[in-house]
């Protein structure tokens, strides 16, 4: 990719830096005190090529502006020091950085063997450098083979590693190298939410991951060079106008060199036919690059009147060239990442960037096997202008990274810890396991009943057990253990392989530790209860625990109407009112595990008392308890029963009697239900205005009685922009059990088979 960053001190370093790590100021103070107030962090930044320097330079400038906190050492190696690739180390000197060490590590040959030998040569030379510099931390970027050598050396020499742009997915061998560096690195700076989730899925410690955005975007989004015409003329000629030229940058694909060379040849043929002025940058130093240069020379590109072939363009000039181009074509990560900041059309060829997140400005030609396909793509894209994309950054990455660096505690143990989901025993694979039905044990702790079920991968409840929920902790925990042991034994007879236990319970839950923090008043003696340990120790299975409302949302995500949706909200209507919020495919727990307490949204300032101690909550109007209270009041006044109804003397009056009376024409019962539905509807409106989901799901036994009233309230009270959001009744019979099972099935099946 591209290179050189000038005068970073002039860039926009101010902005909302606290988006992801609000507590870092406090942590920084504590860490500085622990490390010693006069102790600077010695940071080594190693840059291998023009591409990684464009990402590392903004960080280097940021480090340089804070000498009271950091000492910076710069190590240059790789293609920076090769004349054929532009001697790009000079731009580092032009940026006024002192290069502490130059390492010639490239073995020429531009084939697979040369790449391996280059890694080996770097591994031989780096130990002396690191022994001399003795950095506290080394910053490594990306997914190049040189970077793998750097990370390997630092890890083996007990030097902390900060990896930039981990967690991303692209194509070729780069993916494997990137993920290998991730496993060696101690700290991670990623650019997108998806990359962050990938790192977490790879069992990296969430506390050591910073979602900062791409450092190069700090410059891209502040680039306001008014004299871009002089840059265009310098590189493409005096007669070229903005939006009337092409930038081409294509690299070899190391896992299929022969095909990538053929694709480059077809690209050049298409560009010649398209007949527009084109700036062609030489490929990187990967295996196959020498053959690609031969193709360029064979076709006379360096002497063709429509082409300008160059080895290197300074980064600040390069971004002006792509910002005002009619199109960019090739397979460089720059095309799918940085160029989106300007809305310039991009044609991404082949599979080299196949997994990257892209904006709408990118047109993929993955099977670029004919000149005609590429030519058609040029006709479709050239000259268009797309909306600017900020997928990879908002221009404030460097301040976040500097703050993250300051928070590093050098007194912490150097040994990495991986955050594996809890597993007691390794289960080997054999034919019996393959023939078994993969299943979960699901436990639902309700206010009245305690239920345990065997749930299959498809969401089928194979067998269910129900008992009354005991009133004391001792009786309850013993009954849970007894029922789970019996269910696990029965599962063997039913040929079901139990992968783990999922527990759905009322109250506030810490799902990371498997602890019920505070329970609802419906479940007594159920505060600060560790559910994970006794079940895991007894059953020798991993155990997950979450709130019943969250479980209902997870059930919808895996088995119900929320399947495949990015954003939706579930309201669960039963004895109480609860819910769960799915945002960007993930369940929202909140900072203190109190998110989605939807039953305690206040919809009236002077409403009835709620069990939470407040008043006017949805639960005080629309829960089964609230309806039962109103039903008893009507019954005591002889206003509940109508013709065709009776309540036996030994049967308690319940919410179902109120609903039955309303169906039979009891006006007062109808009014109570309407008020309850309106309260729930106002809560839904508040959620629509706050979270803006694409779907609202009403779950539980009362959902069907409220649905029409809720929709009426939305039509009357909601903003026009959210009135079209669909509200549906869940079609799941046991959402709490299914949600509990989904926690098990979603995590364990990623590791087995």
Pick the closest to residue 2 from 58, 51, 53 (CA basis): 51
In angstroms and rounded to an integer, the radius of gyration of the C-alpha atoms of the chain is: 31
Phi, psi of 214 (to 5 degrees): -80, 130
Name residue, tokens 């997928």. Answer: 391
39 is in an annotated binding site: no
Q: Chain centroid to CA 687: how far?
A: 23
Distance between CA atoms of residues 316 and 614, nearest Å: 59
597 is in an annotated binding site: yes
Sheet with 568-573, edge to edge strand ranges: 586-587, 577-583, 568-573, 695-700, 726-729
80 is in an annotated binding site: no
548 is in an annotated binding site: yes
Neighbours of 146 (CB within 10 A): 28
- Whether 337 contacts 392, CB under 8 Å: yes
12 is in an annotated binding site: no
In the structure encoding, which two tokens stand for residue 246, read together?
A: 């092409």
425 is in an annotated binding site: no
Name residue, tokens 């799918």. Answer: 336
612 is in an annotated binding site: yes
Q: Let me know if 71 is a catalytic residue.
A: no
CA dihedral 434, 435, 437, 439 (to 10 degrees): -30
Helix (H) / strand (E) element for 515: namely strand 515-518
Task: Label residue 178 left, alpha or beta by phi (over 0 means left) and psi (-120 to 50 means alpha).
Answer: alpha
Task: Give the three-class secondary structure for 467.
Answer: strand
CA dihedral 115, 118, 119, 125 (to 10 degrees): 180
Own/partner pairs, 191-194, CB within 8 angstroms, 24+ separation = 191/165, 191/337, 191/392, 191/393, 191/397, 192/167, 192/168, 192/357, 192/391, 192/392, 193/584, 194/167, 194/357
Pick the closest to residue 400 from 20, 8, 12 (CA basis): 20
570 is in an annotated binding site: no
CA dihedral 560, 503, 628, 649 (to 10 degrees): 110
- Whether 717 contacts 678, CB under 8 Å: no
In the structure encoding, which two tokens stand for residue 52, read together?
A: 């990684």
Helical H runs in 436-567?
Answer: 473-493, 532-539, 548-559
Distance between CA atoms of residues 419 and 415, nearest Å: 13
Identify any residues that bridge with 699 across adjacent strands, giving them in sequence order.
572
Task: Give the three-class secondary structure for 5.
Answer: coil
Q: Are strands 586-587 and 577-583 parallel, antiparallel or unpaired?
A: antiparallel
222 is in an annotated binding site: no
CA atoms within 13 A on the CB side of 26: 3
- Angle between helix 50-64 and helix 397-406 axes, rounded to 10 deg: 60
How big is the CA angle at 348 (ends 183 and 232), to the nearest 5 degrees?
Answer: 110
What are the distances in angstroms from CA 462 to CA 135, 363, 459, 499, 669?
58, 47, 9, 14, 39
Residue 52 burial (10 A CB sphere; 0-12, 13-18, 19+): buried
Pick the closest to residue 402 from 219, 142, 185, 210 (CA basis): 210
Task: Give the three-class secondary structure for 489.
Answer: helix
Pick the closest to residue 94 from 216, 219, 7 (CA basis): 7
Select which of 548, 638, 650, 731 is catalytic.
548
- Provide the annotated active-site residues: 548
Binding site listing: 508, 520, 548, 597, 600, 610, 612, 617, 619
Binding site listing for an N-acyl-D-mannosamine: 508, 520, 548, 597, 600, 619
Binding site listing for Zn(2+): 600, 610, 612, 617
């Amino acid at each position: 990719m591209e290179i050189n960053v000038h005068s970073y001190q002039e860039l926009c370093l101010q902005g909302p830096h606290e988006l992801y790590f609000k507590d870092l100021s406090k942590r920084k103070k504590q860490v500085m005190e622990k490390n010693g107030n006069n102790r600077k962090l010695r940071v080594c930044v190693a840059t291998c090529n023009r591409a990684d320097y464009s990402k590392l330079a903004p960080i280097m400038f940021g480090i340089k502006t804070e000498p009271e906190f950091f000492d910076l050492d710069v190590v240059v190696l790789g293609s920076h020091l090769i004349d054929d690739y532009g001697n790009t180390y000079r731009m580092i000197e032009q940026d006024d950085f002192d290069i502490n060490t130059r390492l010639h590590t490239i073995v020429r040959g531009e084939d697979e063997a040369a790449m391996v030998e280059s890694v080996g040569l770097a591994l031989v030379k780096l130990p002396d450098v690191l022994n001399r510099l003795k950095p506290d931390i080394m910053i490594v970027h990306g997914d190049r083979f040189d970077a793998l050598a750097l990370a390997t050396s630092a890890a083996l020499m007990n030097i902390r590693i900060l990896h930039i742009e981990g967690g991303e997915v692209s194509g070729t061998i780069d993916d494997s190298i990137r993920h290998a560096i991730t496993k060696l690195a101690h700290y991670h700076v990623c650019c997108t939410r998806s990359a962050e989730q990938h790192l977490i899925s790879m069992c990296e410690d969430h506390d050591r991951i910073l979602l900062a955005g791409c450092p190069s975007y700090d410059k891209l989004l502040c680039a306001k060079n008014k004299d871009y015409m002089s840059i265009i003329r310098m590189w493409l000629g005096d007669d070229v106008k903005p939006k009337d030229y092409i930038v081409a940058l294509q690299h070899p694909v190391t896992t299929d060199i022969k095909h990538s060379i053929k694709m480059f040849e077809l690209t050049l043929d298409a560009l010649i036919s398209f007949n527009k002025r084109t700036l062609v940058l030489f490929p990187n130093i990967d295996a196959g690059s020498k053959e690609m240069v031969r193709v360029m020379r064979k076709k006379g590109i360096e002497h063709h009147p429509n082409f300008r072939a160059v080895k290197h363009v300074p980064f600040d000039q390069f971004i002006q060239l792509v910002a005002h181009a009619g199109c960019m074509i090739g397979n460089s990560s720059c095309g799918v990442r940085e160029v989106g900041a300007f809305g310039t059309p991009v044609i991404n060829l082949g599979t080299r960037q196949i997994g990257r997140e892209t904006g709408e400005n990118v047109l993929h030609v993955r099977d670029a096997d004919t000149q005609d396909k590429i030519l058609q793509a040029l006709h479709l894209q050239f000259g268009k202008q797309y909306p600017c994309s900020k997928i990879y950054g908002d221009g404030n990455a460097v301040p976040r990274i500097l703050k993250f660096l300051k928070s590093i505690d050098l007194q912490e143990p150097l040994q990495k810890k991986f955050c594996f989901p809890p597993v007691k025993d390794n289960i080997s694979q054999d034919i019996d396991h393959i023939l078994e039905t993969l299943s979960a044990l699901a436990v639902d702790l309700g206010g009245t009943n305690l239920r345990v079920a065997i749930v299959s991968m498809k969401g089928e409840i194979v067998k269910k057990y129900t008992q009354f929920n005991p009133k004391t902790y001792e009786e309850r925990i013993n009954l849970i253990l007894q029922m789970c042991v019996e269910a696990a034994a029965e599962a063997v007879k039913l040929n079901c392989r139990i992968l783990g236990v999922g527990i759905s319970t009322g109250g506030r839950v810490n799902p990371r530790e498997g602890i019920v923090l505070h329970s609802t008043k419906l479940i007594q003696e159920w505060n600060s209860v560790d559910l994970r340990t006794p079940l895991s120790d007894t059953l020798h299975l991993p155990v997950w625990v979450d709130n019943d409302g969250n479980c209902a949302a997870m059930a919808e995500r895996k088995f119900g109407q929320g399947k495949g949706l990015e954003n939706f909200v579930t309201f669960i209507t039963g004895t109480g009112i609860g819910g769960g919020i799915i945002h960007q495919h993930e369940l929202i727990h909140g900072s203190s595990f109190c998110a989605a307490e939807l039953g305690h949204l206040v919809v009236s300032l002077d409403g009835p008392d709620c069990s939470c101690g407040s008043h006017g909550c949805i639960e005080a109007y629309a829960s089964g308890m609230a309806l039962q209270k109103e039903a008893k009041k009507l019954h005591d006044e002889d206003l509940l029963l109508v013709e065709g109804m009776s309540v036996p003397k030994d049967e308690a009056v319940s919410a179902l009697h109120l609903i039955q009376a309303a169906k039979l024409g009891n006006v007062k019962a109808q009014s109570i239900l309407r008020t309850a539905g309106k309260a729930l509807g106002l809560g839904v409106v508040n959620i629509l205005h706050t979270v803006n989901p694409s779907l609202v799901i009403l779950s539980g036994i009362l959902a069907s009685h409220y649905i029409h009233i809720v929709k009426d309230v939305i039509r009357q009270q909601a903003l026009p922009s959210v009135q079209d959001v669909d509200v549906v009744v869940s079609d799941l019979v046991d959402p709490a059990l299914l949600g509990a099972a989904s926690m098990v099935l979603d995590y364990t099946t990623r590791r087995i088979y």
